[in-house]
Amino acid sequence: MTPMQHAEAALAADAAHADAAIWIHRQPDAAILDRARTLEAEGPRGRPLWGIPFVVKDNIDVAGVPTTAGCPGYAYTPAVDAPAVRRLLEAGALFIGKTNLDQFATGLVGTRSPYGVPRNVFDPELVPGGSSSGSACAVAAGIVRFALGTDTAGSGRVPAAFGGIVGLKPTVGSISATGLVPACRSVDTISVFARSVDEALAVQRVIAGFDGQDPYARRPPYPHLRRSAALPAPRVAMADVAPLCEPAVAAAYRQACGFLNAAPIDISLFLESARLLYEGPWVAERTAALRDVLGRRPDVLHPTTRTILESGLDRRTVDAFDAFHTLRQARREAEHLFARHDALLLPTAPFCPSLAEVVADPLGPNRRLGTFTNFANLCDMAGYAVPIGFAPDGTPVGGMLLGPAWSEGRLAPLADALHRRFAATVGATGHPLPPPPPPDTLAADETALFCIGAHMSGLPLNGQVTGLGGRFLRQATTEPAYRLFALGNRPGLLRASGGGAVAGEVWALPTAAIGTLLAQVPPPLGFGTVALADGPCLGFLAESAGVADAPDVTRFGGWRAWLGTQAEGS
C-alpha cells in the first residue's frame, strides 16, 4: 500500500468505528492526507515504516501537540518530539493522533480519564483496559497498524489482552524515556501495540536506542532485537494460577500451557513483589513525580488518581527497605528461573471487569488486573502479551510470555507461534494476521557456532549461549565423518574415519563473545572448524586423547537422541 492508501484506510476505519473517546487529539483529515502525499512524493528512501499510520499515547511528547497525560489542567505543548516519536517519523511513519489513557498512566482499567472511556472493541459493557486504552483500541479496531503506549504495571499488556492484539513490553531502559511524563520513573517504559509479534518487534527496532540524557537508559549488552528461529526444544515455565482467574481465563491458559509443554514452577515470590507496585514504595515514586500537581492543584486530578497519589504521602522509609529486600529476592529468583527456562507463560489478566464493576469499586478490580503484570518491570523482564483464546461470550483471553531483560528477539518466535495457534485475525477487525517474516540471518558481527551437546536448546548449558546474546538459527548435521563420545554430562565430537553424521544446532553468537564462551568450556573440549552437510562452521570439538576411554554413541545420531535412550532406561 502507498502512504495515501494507508492514510485513507486509517481515516475510513476511524469513521466506521466512531469512538471519539479513543482520542485526546486527532490530526485533521487534511493534515494527515497532506503528510501522506508528501511521503508518497518522497518515496520510501529505505525507510522501514514508510507511510504506515500510528498513534501515540498522550503522555508521550509530539512536537506542537499538547501533552495532557489525561489531565487537562496539566497540559503543556512540547517544542520537540520524544526520541521514540522522532525515530518513528524519521522512519517514514504517518502520525494520526494522540490517544486517551488512565490519567497519568495510573490504572489498568482504562476508565480514569476526563476524556471519556474508549469502547472495548468486543463488548461495550467491559472495560477496554489501561492505562494505554486509546492506543490499544486504535490497533484493535484497525485504525492503525501500531501504536505507542507505556508500561509500568501492565499498561502495555492488559489493554492488548482485552483488544485481542499484541502488546510488546520492552526491556526497561532500552527505549528513551525522554519526553515521557513519568509514572514510576525507575520502572517506566514506552511500549508497542501491534497486529503481530513481528510487527511490534519491527517498531521496537526503530525506537530503541541509548539516550545519554535519560538517567535510566541502559546500553544493550548485545544486539537483542534480532529474531531467532523457532527453538526445537523450548523450555517454558508456568504456574498453577487457576484459583486466581475466572474460569474462561483458566481454561485458555491451560490450553496454552499444553501447546508449549510448559512445566510448573512456584511464582509466589513474584506475586508478592507485584503487590509492591501499588502497595509499597513505588506508590510514593508516583507521588513524587506529581508532587507539584498534588500539592498546588489537586482539584485537576481524577478522583481515583488523586486517592492513589495521596496514599504515597503516607509511605514510610523503613517499610521501603523491606520492599527493596523483597524485590532483590524476586530478582534473584528470576535469574534462577531464566537459567532453567526460556520463558515464563502466565495469563495477562485474571479477568476482564465490566464498567459497572469499576464504577461500584474503583480500586478493587484494578488491583486484581495487575496480579500477573505488576512484577515484570520490577523484576527486569521483557515480554509479549498475545491472544491465547476466547471466552464463551466471544471476548478474547490474553497470555503473556516473559523472559529476562534483552530477550525480545529470542522470545519473538515463541510468542508468535503461541499467537497464531489461538488466533487467526487481528483484534475485532476480522482481518487475517500478517504473515511472519523469516528469522534474521547471520549478521556481520555474529559468528555461527555448531552446538552438539549441553549447549543446545532445552539442555542445561544453553543459558551460557543465550546469556551472551546467542540466538538459534537452525538444526544441522555434520558430514558423515565424525564420532560422538559420551563424556559424562556432555559429549565430545571427533573427526574420524568410519564416522557418521551427528546432529546438532547452529547458533548465532556475537563474535566478541566467542572467547567468553570458550573460557567456560573445560578440556578436552574446545572450538574448531566442523564440516557440516551444508558447509564448514565453527563448532565444539574434542581432543582425541580426552575421549580415548569414553563410550562411543555415534550410532544414536546425536546427543539429544542419546539422552533419550538414557531417560528410557532409567
Among 286, 355, 282, which residue's Cα sits nearest to residue 110? 355
- State how far the alpha carbon of 327 is from the alpha carbons of 217, 281, 309, in Å: 20, 11, 22
The C-alpha atoms of residue 388 and residue 404 are separated, in whole angstroms, by 21
How far separated are the first and last CA of the chain, in Å rounded?
59
> Comparing C-alpha atoms, which of 154, 135, 151 is closest to residue 190?
151
Which residue in the list 57, 191, 228, 407 is annotated as catalytic?
Answer: 57
Q: Which residues pair with 95 in a beta bridge?
A: 54
Verify cis geometry, omega within 30 degrees of 0, for the bond prior to 131. yes
From the candidates 113, 131, 133, 196, which is the catalytic residue? Answer: 131
Fill in the amino acid letter for 453: G
Find the angle CA(250)-CA(256)-CA(258) to the nearest 5 degrees: 105
Handedness of CA 115, 11, 195, 377 (dihedral sign): negative
Q: Scanning the structure block, which residue is given the C-alpha cell 469499576?
A: 358
Q: How far is CA 68 from the centre of its chain?
A: 26
| Strand, helix or coil for residue 122 | coil
478, amino acid identity: T
Asked if 282 and 273 count as a contact pair (C-beta separation under 8 A), the reply is no
Q: 155 an active-site residue?
A: yes
> CA triplet 104, 107, 108: central angle to 5 degrees?
135
Contact 456, 502 (CB under 8 A): no
b/e per residue 160-183 (b: at least 16 CB within 10 A): bbbbbbbbbbbbbbbbbbbbbbbb
Q: Is 535 helix (H, G, I), strand (E, B) or coil?
A: strand
How many Å apart are CA 565 and CA 268, to the nearest integer?
Answer: 36
Centroid of chain to Cα 98: 22
- Block residue for cell numbers 546500553: 219
Q: Pick the closest to residue 536 from 474, 465, 479 (CA basis).
A: 479
Q: Which residue has the cell 483488544?
A: 163
Task: Give the three cell numbers for residue 139.
Answer: 490497533
Among residues 132, 135, 155, 457, which one is catalytic?
A: 155
Q: Active-site residues: which are they? A: 57, 131, 155
